Amino acid sequence: MPPLVPPQPPLKWTHTPEEVLALTKDTIAADRATLDKLAALAPEDCTFESVRLVTLAEAEARFDAIVEPLSFYQNVSTSKELRDASNDAEILVRDYGVEASMRLDVFRSKQAAEENVKKSGKSLSPEEQRLVDKMILEGKRAGLTLPDADRETLTALKKELSQTCLEFSKNFNEEKGVVSFTLEELQGVPEDVISGFTKRTEGDKEVYDVTFKTPDIFPLFKFAENPETRRTAYAKYENRLAINKPVMAKFLGLRRKIAKLLGYPTWADYITEVKMVKNAKGVKEFLTDLEQKLRPVGLKDREILLALKKEEHDEKGIPFDGEFYLWDYRYYDRKFIEKSLNLDDMLVKEYFPVTKVVPAILDIYQNLLGVKFVEEKGETWHPEVQMFSVWEKDATDATGFVGYCYLDLFPRESKYSHAAVWPLLSGYDKPDGSRSYPLAAMVANLAKSTPSKPALMRHDDVVTFFHEMGHVFHGLLSKTKFARFHGTSVARDFVEAPSQMLENWCFEPKVLELMSSHYETQKPLDADLIEKIIKSRYVNVGLFYLRQLFFANFDLKVHTDQDADDYTALWNTMREEISLVKGKELGSGEGTFNHIAGGYDAGYYGYTYSLVFASDMYATIFKKDPLDPERGQLYRDKILRVGGSQDDLDSLKNFLGRPPNADAFIKELFGSQTSSL
């Protein structure tokens, strides 16, 4: 069989800073011209075809296909000039987005088209009708029914908000801080971790610089035996983005003003109107109910870990003050797992070399969902990036092409510091009937190889990778008519559910066996270690989820309170009250909370809210046989394929065969055999 040739070329990744800005400006100018033509239509000429399908939906998709990859450079490029140009380009795009969304003449054309569709009796498909409804609602939410003066004020506020949020995220990506320790202070931290630190001489002693990237700093929280080392590391880590403190205060203030102008009680009410939960009251009720259930579980977890801390302090002659601190949590959580399950995190890590895990996970997804990956050679933004074309499993020609996937897996300076997926291109039907194919890029920060060991993944890293690949496939296997409904373009409080469901695979014995291979012996995890990993999942589940609820409650509070507060004090106080760990004096941790600048504003609750759906989907469909391709095909058809082209509740009903419920989630959290129950 001849090699498969994709019908759509991959993207160019050799732009200069000048090209990024020039292309962005040209794209904005072209889109503005399209909107001008649309706005000039006489009301009687505004039809579904002229206003919606041919003009707006296509223009929207074409615009995003150019500007999204250009704005992506700021997260991954090694060139500061290119990152800066990318950031500047995104500012232009966001400002233009505000301008375009505030065009009353365009909105009137949309309204005229809607009216003409009704008069004509034209029958629209469900997805076409959803497009009409969404576009009209967006106009109202944008403030286009407001008086002229208010609209002008709103436009200025939105542009300022956009730039302020970009500043917050840029500071997050550009952070380059380190915390330094002597070898003695790093006692307990695994040797292969320390060997990856930069060693230098400071005065008359040798010190090791630890960056705040996850593979560097997290082992200190988990393994450093000296509590002062952990405290210092945590304080520096927490304060690494103190520069963002005034930036957060500014964007929260701007959001309050915008919500007031639009007539919403709070920013949270504005944001949740288009989500599954519908309003801020629903979020508060969900969080309060879950916190009440989790608090007694968390208190018992803390009691167990505090006893472990006292025992260790007594053995080592370290003063014990009876308190449990933030810098104690990961350390004693790990110690408890090792003690109660005899599970050594560093031993488990030896079974997950990156070179084994990544292809194994790709194989699992390919077999489950009926696709195949073909590695391609071509332009990428960095030599370490892998590019794949993705095809239907039985593809023999271009008709079986699905899209492209990029994997950028290892840390480097100024790269986005966590794990995330960017849906750089959406799939959609072009006006001529041909297809535009999707492209998704996964960015992660897995540990690199060291002089003594190959690149190894903690089990947590494996779970994260599996989760993020869930987003990749949501983007690749969606097949909607319009780009705006493609893939993960679902309600924000549902978007995590498919990937959260897929995390369950990382606690299934046969999957763990498939993914593991000891870097020396090449043997998979044995049954004993697998059982321990599965049992460890719900150890200290109360404290874990109370931490999540702290983030969600902070996010909700700053987006419902009407007066500016001392956000640092609020952050520290709420964390102690909700997550049950001490550490008020650590500083401006809110400056690290990039989620609420980058799209999860008044939406962090969604991580836990969507777990209800994730648990239900897994327990109902996949638990009996998580590797069954027939179940995978059902998931592909009912959840992935439809993207956001219908209400997410309808997608869930179609997949489950009934409305979703919280039974599986409650059983999972409170019926599991954990340390605390």
CATH number, residue 434: 3.40.390.10
One domain, residues 388 and 492:
yes
Within this chain, do residues 134 and 204 fall inside the same structural domain, yes or no?
no
Return the number of other C-beta atoms located less than 10 Å from residue 456's C-beta: 25
Residue 64: which CATH number? 1.20.1050.40
Would 123 be classed as within a structural domain?
Answer: yes
User: For 400, phi and psi rounded to 5 degrees?
Assistant: -95, 10
User: Does the annotation count 468 as an active-site position?
Assistant: yes
Judge whether 384 lies within some domain.
Answer: yes
Q: Domain containing 22: what range? A: 17-101+103-141
516, 447: one domain = yes
- CA–CA distance, 602 with 272 (Å, rounded to integer): 7
Q: Tell which of 537, 555, 581 closes a domain.
A: 537
Do both 133 and 179 map to the same domain? no
Start-to-end CA span in the chain (Å): 58
Residue 152: inside a domain: no
The two three-digit tokens of residue 472, written as one number: 């990749």
Sign of CA dihedral 161, 166, 167, 171: positive
Residue 373 lies inside a defined structural domain of this protein: yes
188 and 137 in a common domain: no
Contact 57, 32 (CB under 8 A): no
Q: What's the helix, strand, coil split of the chain in %, to 5?
A: 60, 10, 30
Domain contains 465: yes
Q: What is the pLDDT of residue 676?
A: 32
Task: Assess whether 414 and 488 both reside in one domain.
Answer: yes
pLDDT at 102: 92
User: Does 334 map to a domain?
Assistant: no
Task: Give the model's pLDDT for residue 670.
Answer: 79
Whether 180 and 67 map to the same domain: the answer is no
Q: Which member of 128, 468, 496, 590 is catalytic?
A: 468
The number of folded domains in the chain is: 3
pLDDT in the model for residue 674: 37
Q: What is the pLDDT of residue 555?
A: 98
pLDDT of residue 635: 98
Identify whether residues 71 and 213 lie together within a single domain: no
Single out the residue in 507, 537, 567 at which a domain terminates: 537
In sequence order, what are the residues at sequence separation of 6 or more whose Cβ sits closer than 8 angstroms to the Cβ of residue 6? 376, 389, 398, 401, 404, 437
Domain identity same for 496 and 361: yes
pLDDT tens by residue, 72-131:
999 999 999 999 999 999 999 999 999 999 999 999 999 999 999 999 888 899 999 999
Name the residue with tokens 């109107």. Answer: 273
Report the pLDDT value the prediction gives residue 672, as an integer from 0 to 100. 53
Residues β-bridged to residue 406: 387, 441
Instruction: Looking at the structure, tell me whether residues 504 and 372 fall in a common domain.
Output: yes
Any long-range contacts for 261-268 (C-beta under 8 Å, 24+ apart)?
261/143, 261/146, 261/150, 261/153, 261/154, 261/157, 262/141, 262/143, 262/146, 262/154, 266/559, 266/560, 266/562, 267/559, 267/560, 267/601, 267/602, 268/556, 268/559, 268/560, 268/602
How crowded is residue 435: how many other Cβ atoms within 10 Å of its Cβ? Answer: 15
Which residue is associated with the tokens 């987003």? Answer: 471
What CA–CA distance (Å, rounded) separates 469 from 480? 20
User: Among the three residues 161, 196, 223, which one is the final residue of a domain in this structure?
Assistant: 223
What CA–CA distances, in Å, run from 475 to 371, 424, 489? 14, 9, 9
- pLDDT for the residue numbered 476: 98
Residues in the chain, pLDDT under 70: 1, 52-54, 564, 671-677
Residues 377 and 420 in one domain: yes
Q: Which pLDDT belongs to residue 55? A: 79
Same domain, 217 and 94: no
